[in-house]
Amino acid sequence: MKTCIQVVIETPGGSQEKFDYDPAQRLFILTKILPSGMVFPFDFGFLPGTVGGDGDPLDVLVISELQTFTGCMVECRIIGVITAIQTERNGEKMRNDRFLAIPQISLVYSSVNEIRDLPKALLEQIEQFFINYNEQAEKSFKILEYATAKTAAILIEKGREENTIKTQLIQLFLPFPKSSAAEKKLSQLETVLTKKFGGISIFNQTPVSGKWRKNGKTEQDELIVFEVMAATFELNYWKTLKTKLEKDFHQQEILLRSLAIGMTD
């Protein structure tokens, strides 16, 4: 039996609307409406804990007769991958592969274990969808090959390794909680960061090194520091999270610091 892998569904099959998961807000955001008559042929989602050539988790098309929903976690087997080069509007080229998966509970596709087991007409439909999807966004999608499940497994493992080569130390300096509501928000933040980065360090800085003069008085603040290690500094993710935390904790400015950490053998 093939290894089972979890896929998070962002956009259900048959949907004309495109949804993307925002880890900072822990919400699925409606990001696009496809042209009239165009819908996703099957469920579209991602592999948690991986990073692809575009800096996002690896994309997966889940082929089945099932009706799922945005946010649904599906146990699947990977049957292969469509390796491809995507060209952006500005001419930038990047690898943006599409992995193909079958839910373990699917009956219609229970005998499908490799891409070659799928009907040729179905593969052509999937190929044309990805090409058209990119064209309407003024991008191009050039398929390199239909690779086997074994090749897909190697690429997935590489995506996991990319997600775990951590060379950035990222620190958030937050006000020390003085209410149960603030403690709850910090607990939620701890959960979010632990899930995304695989671990977190939390420590107090009491008082901080430095003083601020306000209304003629010198003040010292007590802070709590959340620290994670990451492969890269995802600017949009951290900007969104920083803005949210400033609102949640009623702060004019929250300090966010990123430091490059040298890696040696």
C-alpha to C-alpha distance for 227 and 218, rounded to whole angstroms: 28
| Domains along the chain with CATH numbers | 5-163 (3.90.80.10), 168-260 (3.30.70.120)
Which among 254, 260, 222, 223 has a CA at the least distance from the CA of 238? 254
Query: How large is the greatest C-alpha to C-alpha distance in the chain, in angstroms?
Result: 76
Mean pLDDT, each 10-residue run in order, the chain (265 residues): 84 97 84 95 93 86 97 96 92 92 97 96 96 93 95 92 71 91 93 86 67 51 86 83 94 89 49
**What confidence score (pLDDT) does residue 70 get?**
97
Instruction: Count each helix (H run) and each strand (E run) in the chain, helices first.
Output: 4, 15
**What confidence score (pLDDT) does residue 170 get?**
92
**What confidence score (pLDDT) does residue 263 get?**
46
**What confidence score (pLDDT) does residue 214 get?**
53
Cα first-last separation, the chain: 37
Q: Residue 187: in which H helix or E strand, if any?
A: helix 180-197
**What confidence score (pLDDT) does residue 260 get?**
73
- CB–CB of 45/64 below 8 Å? no
**What confidence score (pLDDT) does residue 209 get?**
47
What's the whole-model pTM score?
0.64
Taking residue 243's Cβ as centre, other Cβ atoms within 10 Å add up to 12
